[in-house]
Chains A and B, each alone.
Chain A
Amino acid sequence: MLQIKNLHAGIEDKGILKGIDLEVKAGEVHAIMGPNGSGKSTLSSVIAGKEEYEVTEGEIFLNGENIDELGPEERAHAGVFLSFQYPVEIPGVSVTNFVKTAINETRKAKGLEEMPASEMLKKIREKAELLEIDRKFLSRSLNEGFSGGEKKRNEIFQMAMLEPKLAILDETDSGLDIDALRIVANGVNKLRNKDNAVIVITHYQRLLDYIVPDFVHVLHNGKIVKSGTKELALELEEKGYDWIKQEATI
């Protein structure tokens, strides 16, 4: 699904990612953990194709194809979805209108007709139910005045609607209370199948109790310094990141 080889990237001459190697196969869940400033969010932005980051070295492959030259919307059309840590507000554009536009633009890019209204409605109902989203919520302006939990739930709702191949959840657990966390995690679990993959970026192990990863990677100073299974996350929770930092400097 996703292959990252020796990825170096940064912003305005400042190197942030310093040689990332990662392979994510279909059906897998990978967790990327690490202390603040280790490059977690940069990695997700670079995979999604955010322009302000410059890739100086290395390659990213999606389903065997190099996506370095693709713009963010083309990567989205190819099945990359990023659940934003800080979702942006778009006043006057309802959640429904936004999702509808996203789906139809993606279909257009693939040479498909717009999704019939009845099908769209059915899908919206189904996915809203899955994430316990109130109908009224769908008519509100995108992210405007949303609570932290509502914003994150809205991200996962969009993910459910767009059915991506690769979903990257960037700090989806931040700002969520325990009930919201459970609903969101539940939603993600229901959306998982053998054909898609999930990368969970998180600071804490909490979310991983609900979305159980196949692999855990620790990012430090722009590099993956340790990889393991879900037990690694528990170890980090117990011991903190300091021992990793020390290990990395040796």
Chain B
Amino acid sequence: MSKYTEEELQKELETKEYEYGFYTDIESETFPKGLNEDIIRAISKKKNEPEWMTEWRIDAFKIWSEMEEPEWANVHYEKPNFQNISYYSAPKKADPNKTLDDVDPELLEMYKKLGISIDEQKKLQGIAIDIVVDSVSVATTFKKTLAEKGIIFCPISEAIQEHPELVKKYLGTVVPKKDNFYAALNSAVFTDGSFCYIPKGVRCPMELSTYFRINQAGTGQFERTLVIADEESYVSYLEGCTAPSRDENQLHAAVVELIALDDAEIKYSTVQNWYPGNAEGKGGVYNFVTKRGLCETNSKISWTQVETGSAVTWKYPSCVLKGNNSVGEFYSIAVTNNFQQADTGTKMIHLGKNTKSTIISKGISAGRSQNSYRGLVQIAAKAENARNFSQCDSLLMGNKCGAHTFPYIEAKNKTAQVEHEATTSKIGEDQIFYCNQRGIDTEKAIALIVNGFSKDVLNKLPMEFAVEAQKLLEISLEGSVG
């Protein structure tokens, strides 16, 4: 008898396996563990960086050395030993300048397992992809097609050499080196990531995508992404992440900076599926990420994230609404299961007049996980007629998980209109029974309910991603994989 009780749901949820937990045996060049100025100089040298970049890193390292790891988030974990991490690891045979035929066949095999075929991507219209394994970018497709429109889409290490004027002008302007502990660390040691520039008046004809993968043991991944949308331009950017299953905790501390100049629009979507650790809470990725966008006049930045992975997540994609009439949006689905902990949300900083922001956050907690929404809506004194709408919904499964909401509102202008709505619900046995009675088994019923709960956010994802995200939600919460 396919009996269904709370405990059984619990059990069923805990049997989920991480699909991307394989490790590919690629010959890698990995730096010795530890962090000091010499290591940073070595990274910079490895990357063939100009002097100004090396100094920028050293400066960040000095700032970081004086900072303390933050403790205000609603997460508990053993702090990483920053001297026990290798800050650079690269697949040996990868060289972005070579053609596909030169790429290590093991690497290509790994892409296949991840469901990324570069060959196919080449043919498939609509998505240009940059793949970052461990510390370096190994393949960027569609470069030529994009170049015809004047769009630059390349590894950031390449941009530092070939477009130094752009990198110099914008790097660290939205997330300063001293912004926070992990941002400072990233500024010192970032090894690769994507760079994207959309020229004035250009509508990027395809989705741009970066795929991040941690492969090597004992390494951290510190990628840096910089997206600049010049006046009246538009770009939609996708980001996906996976890592092998390991008993140890791996650190991922990324920084993403978005700059939307006047009348520009950036849509940034993430599907984060780093290894969450096993059912006992051992291993998994620490995902400490700083993402922020700057909006100039009449511009718009929209963050959409589906967070299902990582043992600990600390992440607040934010918008600084500097220009008048600018718009910031944050749509999030965060799923935690087993012993996962997520403290995620957003900051909407209203500086300009008539600025508008929307926050829709959906948290789904199962197992013994803890899922927190933390959000700040700040209306500056000069931000006349600023408006915000926030909605935070939590869905609980079983009795051992937790959902928390920490909304902060600071309004310094009387004309501000700020709305906040929050709900907490539980997948009830009565809902499951109702579905069962209509011939829908428990597993499918949970998928249906979760998808319904997340619909407002799923709808914001680009089509290709929405299907993947929906599948990921099902995998994350169910006993068996498809």
A→B interface (CB under 8 Å): 48-52, 69-77, 80-82, 84, 87-88, 90-93, 97-98, 101-103, 105-106, 109, 141-142, 158, 162
Residue with the highest number of chain A CB atoms closer than 10 Å, among B437, B451, B454: B437
What residues of chain A lie closer than 8 Å to B453, measured between beta carbons? 91-92
Q: Which residues of B contact A80 (CB under 8 A)?
A: 437
Say whether B439 contacts A92, CB under 8 Å.
Answer: no
> Would A51 and B3 count as touching, CB distance under 8 A?
yes
Extra contacts besides A51-B433, A98-B448 (18): CB < 8 Å: A49-B437, A50-B433, A51-B5, A69-B1, A72-B436, A74-B2, A76-B436, A88-B428, A88-B431, A92-B453, A97-B448, A102-B438, A102-B439, A105-B439, A105-B440, A109-B439, A162-B438, A162-B439
Select A48's contact among B429, B437, B441, B451, beta carbons within 8 Å. B437
User: Smallest CB-CB separation from B456: which chain A residue?
Assistant: A92
**Interface residues of chain B: helix, strand, loop or mixed (majority):** helix
Q: Which 10 A-B pairs have the closest CB atoms?
A: A92-B452, A71-B2, A93-B452, A72-B436, A106-B439, A102-B438, A92-B455, A76-B439, A73-B436, A88-B434
Q: How far is the CA of A73 from the CA of B1 in the complex (A)?
A: 10
With a cutoff of 8 Å between Cβ atoms, the chain A residues found around residue B5 in the complex are 51
Please, how many angstroms separate the alpha-carbon atoms of A91 and B450 in the complex?
9
Measured CB to CB, the nearest residue on chain A to B395 is A91
**In residues 361-417 of chain B, which contact A (Cβ within 8 Å)?**
none
Complex CA distance for A98 and B430, rounded to whole angstroms: 16
What are 19 A-B pairs with beta-carbon distances under 8 A?
A49-B436, A49-B437, A71-B441, A74-B2, A75-B437, A76-B438, A76-B439, A84-B434, A88-B434, A90-B434, A90-B448, A92-B452, A92-B455, A92-B456, A93-B451, A101-B444, A102-B435, A105-B444, A142-B452
Q: How large is the interface on B (under 10, 10 to 19, 20 to 34, 35 or more residues)?
A: 20 to 34
Checking A48, A75, A90 against B452 with a beta-carbon cut-off of 8 angstroms, the contacting residue is A90
Interchain CB contact under 8 A, A73 and B441 = yes
- Can you name the residue of chain A whose Cβ is closest to the Cβ of B362? A92
Chain B residues within an 8 Å CB radius of A73:
2, 435-437, 439-442
A47 CB, nearest partner CB in chain B, Å? 10
**In this assembly, does B53 line the interface, its C-beta being within 8 Å of a C-beta of chain A?**
no
Contacts of B63 in A (CB 8 A): none
Q: Are A101 and B4 in contact (CB under 8 A)?
A: no
CB neighbours of A106 from chain B (8 A): 439
Contact A71 B430 (CB under 8 A): no
Q: Which A residues lie within 8 Å of B456 (CB)?
A: 92
B217 lies within 8 A of chain A by Cβ: no
CB of B437 within 8 A of CB of A76, answer yes
The minimal Cβ–Cβ distance linking A116 to chain B, given in whole angstroms, is 18
Contacts of A88 in B (CB 8 A): 428, 430-431, 434
| Chain A residues near B3 (CB-CB < 8 A) | 51, 71
CB–CB A101/B440 < 8 A:
yes
User: Within 8 Å CB of B442, what residues of A?
Assistant: 73
Q: Is B107 an interface position by the 8 A CB rule?
A: no
Is A105 a contact of B441 with CB atoms below 8 Å?
A: yes
Alpha-carbon separation in the docked complex, A157 to B3 (Å):
27
The answer to the question of B449 belonging to the interface, with a C-beta cut-off of 8 Å to chain A, is: yes
**Nearest CB on B from A82, distance (A):** 5
CA distance A149 to B292 in the complex (A): 49
B452 touches A91 (CB 8 A): yes
Contact residues in B for A90 (Cβ distance below 8 Å): 431, 434-435, 448-449, 452
With a CB–CB cut-off of 8 A, which chain A residues contact B436? 49, 71-73, 76
Residues of B within 8 A of A101 (CB): 440, 444, 448
Nearest-Cβ distance from residue A58 to partner chain B, whole angstroms:
16
Q: Which residue of A is nearest B447, CB measured?
A: A101
Interface centre among A70, A74, A77 (most CB of B within 10 A): A74
Shortest beta-carbon distance, B247 to chain A, in Å? 37
Q: What sequence of 0s and 1s flags, for each residue 36-47 of chain B, a beta carbon within 8 Å of any chain A beta carbon?
A: 000000000000
Q: A80 — nearest CB in chain B belongs to which residue?
A: B437
Query: How far in angstroms is the closest Cβ of chain A from B216?
Result: 40
Q: Select B439's contact among A77, A91, A142, beta carbons within 8 Å.
A: A77
Determine the distance from Cα of A73 to Cα of B452 in the docked complex, in whole angstroms: 20
Q: CA of A81 to CA of B434 in the docked complex: distance in angstroms?
A: 11
A102 to B440, CA, bound (A): 6
A81 to B437, CA, bound (A): 7
Give the shortest distance, in Å, between B413 (CB) and chain A (any CB): 34
Nearest-neighbor residue (CB-CB) of B431 within chain A: A88
- A125 to chain B minimum Cβ distance, whole angstroms, is 20
Interface string of B261-297 (1 = CB under 8 A from A): 0000000000000000000000000000000000000
In the bound complex, residues from chain B placing their C-beta under 8 Å from that of A81 are 437
- On chain A, the residues within 8 Å of B451 by CB distance are 92-93
Contact B437 A82 (CB under 8 A): yes
Q: Given A51-B5, A88-B430, A88-B431: A72 and B437 within 8 A (CB)?
A: yes
**A87–B456 alpha-carbon span in the complex (Å):** 23
A74: chain B residues at CB < 8 Å are 2
Interface residues of B in 221-252 (CB under 8 A from A): none
Inter-chain CA distance A49–B442, complex, in Å, is 14
A70 to B436 alpha-carbon distance, docked (Å): 12
Once the chains are docked, how many angstroms separate the CA of A93 from the CA of B448?
7
Nearest neighbor of B454 in chain A, beta-carbon distance? A92
